[in-house]
Amino acid sequence: MVVIREAFNAGLVLLLMFGVSFAESFNRFDLDIESGAAIVWYSDIQIPKSTGTLISFSEELETDPAFFVRGRFTYYFDRGNMVSILIAPLTLKATGSVGREVIFQGETFAPNAALNSVYKFNSYRLTYEHFWFAGERLRFGLGATAKIRDAAISIADSIKISEKTDLGFVPLIKFSLVWRFADPLALVLDGDALAAPQGRAEDISLSLQGNVNDRMSLKLGYRVLEGGSDVEEVYSFTWVNYLFGGFSLCL
């Protein structure tokens, strides 16, 4: 955590040193890259819900922080409308043992067996967003996201492995709020989210951003990825905290 704090402080210094005023004009294309650490807060899995064992990947097993990279490519029709494509892969690995029999996706694992688990949650999203401006310092956006979820959860011991895969479509509501509170800095709230009786999904970030020049900006922030499904086939809810840095490049 000391390394993360020092990296955050160094990034903040860069924002303040190299920031300039935000451009009032817009560029047609924007490439946004984020990278950092993904840390699990909780992850509770039961597959299938009726016959599987409810197991905590965060408390009964140990899930290590994971390095991640995600990118978004955006096209602006004008200052008020955009469409973007997001690629956000994520893989988490857990190890440990459980002091009871574990049933997962039809396989039985003995008590106290050494277990290795992989939680993959890759997200691919197509988004449209419309912006409203309140003066020169506030911008609010609202839109819709079509998300493709490519997920897989596996548990293995020394002799066998069991895996549950899931490929599906999820509609989400897209929103953003940009507050240019003090040149050259802006506070940005951005997210996709939606809830239903069968489950929920939230991917929300809060970041501090500042321009290096009229084409490049830096950012530091926190993101929460939370959600899951509660159906007969699978019970799975996970909360992941992201600490990230990144940049946006106007093309």
Structural domain for 101, as ranges: 2-250
Instruction: Give residue-wise pLDDT tens across range 158-202.
Output: 999 999 999 999 999 999 999 999 988 999 999 999 999 999 999
Candidates 222, 226, 229; CA nearest to 243 is 222
Residue 5 has pLDDT above 80, yes or no: no
pLDDT confidence of 21, banded at 50, 70, 90?
A: very low
> What is the average per-residue pLDDT within 149-161?
96
Q: How far is CA 151 from CA 50, 164, 166, in A?
A: 21, 8, 5
Residue 6 has pLDDT above 60, yes or no: no
Instruction: Give residue-wise pLDDT tens across range 93-109.
Output: 999 999 999 999 999 99
> What is the average per-residue pLDDT within 87-96?
97
How many domains are there within the chain?
A: 1
Angle at CA 219, nearest 5°, toward 206 and 137?
70
This prediction's pTM:
0.87
CATH of the domain at 16: 2.40.128.90
Instruction: Give residue-wise pLDDT tens across range 191-244.
Output: 999 999 999 999 999 999 998 998 999 999 999 999 999 999 999 999 999 999
